[in-house]
Structure 1
């Protein structure tokens, strides 16, 4: 994934998660995180012929965008644990949080 592709994917994911989280109250977000934990946070697809490391970094970009979207809507500290957890997992996938 080139840096330009990374920035483009991040921007798309950020807008998408911002739209998703914007309409949710705290309970709805908790349910979403509980039910989507495996599908959206802990696992990621690796397409046929795709380098698993590239897929992992792409997943890290998605998680960073998810964390930034959540924080931008709720403000710093409102969901600090969720944001920190997402950023931690993103780093584990090789995405450097700036």
Structure 2
């Protein structure tokens, strides 16, 4: 089960399937995001986090693939935590945490 929780990278275009991180049956309840890593020039990697519609939500560049992947996954985590926090405050559950 732990292997299903890890993001998988498609070899063709380095897109991470974030739906693999979700529990079965909850994919329609959560927004869908993709992480894209692309080599740009010598020793440079561009990263982007895209929404379900393909719109780039966050992007940047790093000197190594590992650093670019880390920054992209960190940005994805921030997006997911912000959306969870927003959903909790809309449903009135934010006061339970205080």
Question: TM-score w.r.t. structure 1 length?
Answer: 0.33
Query: Whose helix proportion is higher, 1 or 2?
Result: 1
Query: Whose strand proportion is higher, 1 or 2?
Result: 2
Please tell me whether Structure 1 or Structure 2 has the larger radius of gyration of its CA atoms.
Answer: 2
Question: TM-score w.r.t. structure 2 length?
Answer: 0.33
With a CA cutoff of 8 Å and minimum separation of 6, indicate the structure with the bigger relative contact order. 1
